[in-house]
Amino acid sequence: MSTEGRRPAADRVRADPGVDDAVRALLLLMPRMVGRAKRIPVPEELRSLALAPRHLSLLAYLLFDGPTTVNDLAARLEVAPTTVSLMVAELSRKGILERREDAADRRRRIVDITAAKRPSIADWLARGAGAWRRALEPLTPDERRMFVDTLRAYEAAMGAEDDD
């Protein structure tokens, strides 16, 4: 009997799982997902820069959406502009980001990944982005929205437990 395509019993969830069945499956799945993400090697030229998860989100936005302002990044990251400004200053000192004047409005500064670091950052983040793309493409827009909303609800519930 072939085992090709079979998942471990712990991964199998009934077609209409109860909440406890789904929780069990996710409690087993989440650590494996985090473990695999952590095994993606940091490019050699970035290893000494002590990048934290908050930096990865900022870099991902700049990589996928292009150069933008600190205020736009703050809105996307759901943090205060001063927090983003501090991160941008830190990453600028490390040679990862650059700030330049906005040609349309000289009062604004545009933030971008430096040309020297862009290839390493793109290669590093591509594996995770590709995996998410493969997982999400078969879903309908409503299913994708529900999936993202569910992850947000999980993250918020974990944060609420930290506040207790």
The span from the CA of 113 to the CA of 121, in Å, is 9
The correct CATH number of 44-120 out of 2.40.37.10, 3.40.50.300, 1.10.10.10, 3.40.190.10 is: 1.10.10.10
- Residue 12: pLDDT over 70: no
Decide: residue 23, CB within 10 A, 0-12 exposed, 13-18 middle, 19+ buried: exposed
Residue 36 CA: distances (Å) to CA of 10, 11, 128, 138:
18, 16, 10, 22
Q: Domain boundaries in the chain?
A: 44-120
pTM greater than the 0.75 cutoff: no
At 85 the pLDDT is 93
Label residue 19 by pLDDT band (50, 70, 90): confident
Q: What is the pLDDT of residues 69-116, one digit of tens each?
A: 999 999 999 999 999 999 999 999 999 999 998 888 888 889 999 999
The span from the CA of 144 to the CA of 113, in Å, is 29
Q: Which residues, listed in sequence order, are joined to residue 111 by a DSSP beta bridge?
A: 68, 99
The span from the CA of 95 to the CA of 98, in Å, is 7
Residue with the larger pLDDT of the pair 124 and 140: 140
